[in-house]
Structure 1
Amino acid sequence: MYLVNIRLKSGSGGGIPSQVSALAAAIRAADGVEHVSVTSDPQGEMVLGLFVLATSLVEAEGRALDLLERALDASEELAGMGWTHQGVAMVDQYYERRFAAGDS
């Protein structure tokens, strides 16, 4: 399972739209999405976290973007929104501790 984060920006800078259910409505079983989290950052961007079951990172990111494009195309509530960044975040502190301890 991969947590794919997608940053969305609305044309009006309004943060999280009130009809976030439009995103959930676009989810299909084949997407492998197990959980969705939605937050807003101080710059007014919506951060969508998709927990995706996939055999690889590339597959997970592809599924997440396919879902997002479907939702943006199908929903009037999400009209004018676009994505600014997507990817899987590295857990830097974990790896820094391992490298400092001599693990490889």
Structure 2
Amino acid sequence: MKTQLVVSSAFAAALALGLVGQAAAQDKAAKEKCYGIAKAGQNDCANLSGSHSCAGQAKVDKSPEEWKYVAKGTCAKAGGLSAEEAKAKMKK
């Protein structure tokens, strides 16, 4: 009886992880990186300059090298930049 419970639990966990991964992939597809809108400590991952590689490490608000995920098509409305625009702004 215990073996059947363990196997059933493992199977259920594997199925749940598969669904979570699929949902995350779909969610990511509906979003885009928006540079220059992240507040200090609220960026989503590594910055353009490579000075850090983790979320939550932005030092200042609205740095052009930091980004957040936003719904596709909303970046410009939020005052954000594309990756190309952010790179050009950083060169100045």
Query: Structure 2 length as normaliser, TM-score?
Result: 0.23
The structure whose residues are more often helix, as a share, is 2
Task: Report which structure shows greater RCO (CA 8 Å, sep ≥6).
Answer: 1
The structure whose residues are more often strand, as a share, is 1
Q: Which has the larger radius of gyration?
A: 2
